[in-house]
Structure formats: structure tokens, C-alpha cells
């Protein structure tokens, strides 16, 4: 497939208010001249992003506040995004994690993770994939997964399982849509210095600048390059690619032990409140 040209075209990004999604929106506007449909829950941040990108780069930005844990919001985003405009690219980046003992994750936390990381990804990829195919192909989807999805990961057990689903689903979908001229890129980063690192509590052990923790800006550049060139799978960073290969080659029990030992240093020292 030929690389995508997004200049003057619309690209939708979920999770666009912070971290990787924010940096991808900035890069697509600045270096590729793309108009951005920015999707996230925090409307004030989306409004600020609109002002920033339109002023600095002369592109159009549609802020679209949505909560992808809510039934029907994925379909609402699709209908709003495609009303009166042609969308040529979609990056499904929104995601949530849980760090800690799997038995201590509350049901509402798991339900929100499942809805955000899996259900909304499937629904939106179906809607936009069919939309691109009906347009005669040429559209591009990107599903943001994680290196955590290549093997079971203690203390991020449910999160790693959701990302394993995204990797498998995205690659299967890429094969199905290839003949229609629609590309699907699975992007699987390792640790990124974003709000998720602090919100999850992982910043007790892992800090920005540590080996294996990539800046959001550097990660976004690799992600956008893979998206534009319509690669099926992209793992950013030499260390991450090496670890992804080890996860495929070495017994999962061995890899789980090494990962668990590393993560145990980030677990809370005090037991959780009842």
C-alpha cells in the first residue's frame, strides 16, 4: 500500500487530551498538515488543543468530548466525525490500566478497562473499517496496544490481557481489510512517560528518563511514521523490540518471573484500605 497523505485530511484520535494521543495530534497537525478530530473525556483540554493547533499550524480541530466506557458513545463519535466531512485516518489510542494484585481490582475498574481497551476498540474499528471500505479503500486505522500484550504480565494482569486481545484482533483485522485497500497498524509501545505512569502508581518504580521509559514525544513520532507508512505491526525502541522477541521465544513462566520481580518494587508498601 502507498503511504498515506494526510495534508488537508481529517484524522480522528481517541485519548487525545494527554500523553501519546496529544503528541500524535500535535505531530500530525504540525508535520503532516492533518485536520484533527480530538476525542477524550476532558473537554477543557480538547478546547485548549484546538486553540493551540489551529493557531500554530492553520489546521482545523474538532473537539469531541466522549466517554468510551458508556454504551453508545463509540457510535456517537463515529456519526459526529463522519457528518459533513471525510475521515481518512483513525487512531484508537484511548486506554486505561490497573497496577496491583488482580484479586484487588474492583469490578467497576475492570468493567471500565474492558469497555475502553476492548469494546470501544472493536466497535469503532468496525464502524470506521466499513466506512473506509465503502469509500473505496485508502483509509488507515491504528490500534494502540502495548508490549504487555505479548506475554502474561503479573500485577498488570487484566491490562496485559486486554492488550493481547488488541494485538491479535488488530492483526487479524489487518488481513481481512487488506484487499479493500484499508490498512490496520498495531502499535505496541513499552513504558511511556505519561499520566498513566503516575495514575497507576508505576511511577513509584519507573521514572521518565529511566531505561525502557520513552518520552511521549519520541514514541509519538515512531507511531505516526508507522501509521503513515501503513505498517501492520510497530514496536518502538530497540529494547522493546528485543523484549518482544524474548517474550515470543522464551517460556512465558520465565518471563513472568522476571517481570514480576521488577514490578514488585513498585507495589504499595502498605496494604490497600478495606
Catalytic site residue from 98, 155, 159, 169: 159
- Which sign, positive or negative, has the C-alpha torsion 129, 46, 223, 69? negative
Distance from C-alpha of 112 to C-alpha of 117, rounded to nearest angstrom? 8
Distance from C-alpha of 63 to C-alpha of 13, rounded to nearest angstrom? 10
183 and 234 in contact (C-beta within 8 Å)? no
32 and 21 in contact (C-beta within 8 Å)? no
Cβ atoms < 10 Å from Cβ of 105? 16
**Is residue 175 among the annotated active site residues?**
no
37 and 64 in contact (C-beta within 8 Å)? yes
Query: What separation in angstroms does the CA of 36 have from each of 5, 54, 64, 168, 213?
Result: 14, 10, 10, 28, 27
116: closest CA among 97, 101, 131? 97
Tell me the catalytic residues: 159
Amino acid at each position: 500500500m502507498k503511504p498515506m497523505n494526510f495534508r488537508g485530511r481529517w484524522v480522528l484520535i481517541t485519548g487525545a487530551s494527554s500523553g501519546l494521543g496529544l503528541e500524535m495530534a500535535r505531530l500530525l497537525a504540525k508535520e503532516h498538515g492533518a485536520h484533527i478530530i480530538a476525542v477524550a473525556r476532558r473537554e477543557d483540554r480538547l478546547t485548549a488543543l484546538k486553540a493551540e493547533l489551529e493557531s500554530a499550524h492553520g489546521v482545523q480541530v474538532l473537539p469531541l468530548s466522549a466517554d468510551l466506557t458508556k454504551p453508545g458513545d463509540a457510535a456517537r463519535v463515529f456519526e459526529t466525525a463522519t457528518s459533513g466531512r471525510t475521515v481518512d485516518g483513525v487512531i484508537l489510542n484511548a486506554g486505561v490500566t490497573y497496577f496491583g494484585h488482580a484479586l484487588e481490582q474492583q469490578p467497576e475498574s475492570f468493567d471500565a478497562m474492558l469497555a475502553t481497551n476492548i469494546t470501544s476498540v472493536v466497535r469503532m474499528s468496525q464502524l470506521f473499517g466499513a466506512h473506509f471500505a465503502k469509500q473505496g479503500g485508502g483509509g488507515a486505522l491504528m490500534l494502540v496496544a502495548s508490549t504487555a500484550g505479548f506475554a502474561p504480565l503479573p500485577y498488570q494482569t487484566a491490562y496485559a490481557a486486554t492488550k493481547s486481545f488488541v494485538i491479535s484482533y488488530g492483526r487479524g483485522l489487518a488481513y481481512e481489510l487488506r484487499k479493500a485497500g484499508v490498512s490496520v497498524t498495531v502499535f505496541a509501545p513499552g513504558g511511556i512517560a505519561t499520566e498513566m505512569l503516575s495514575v497507576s502508581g508505576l511511577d513509584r518504580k519507573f521514572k521518565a528518563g529511566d531505561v525502557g521509559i520513552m518520552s511521549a514525544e519520541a514514541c509519538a513520532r515512531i507511531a505516526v511514521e508507522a501509521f503513515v507508512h501503513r505498517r501492520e505491526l510497530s514496536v518502538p525502541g530497540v529494547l522493546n523490540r528485543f523484549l518482544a522477541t524474548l517474550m515470543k521465544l522464551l517460556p512465558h513462566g520465565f518471563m513472568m518471573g522476571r517481570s514480576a520481580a521488577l514490578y514488585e518494587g513498585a507495589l504499595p508498601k502498605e496494604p490497600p484500605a478495606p
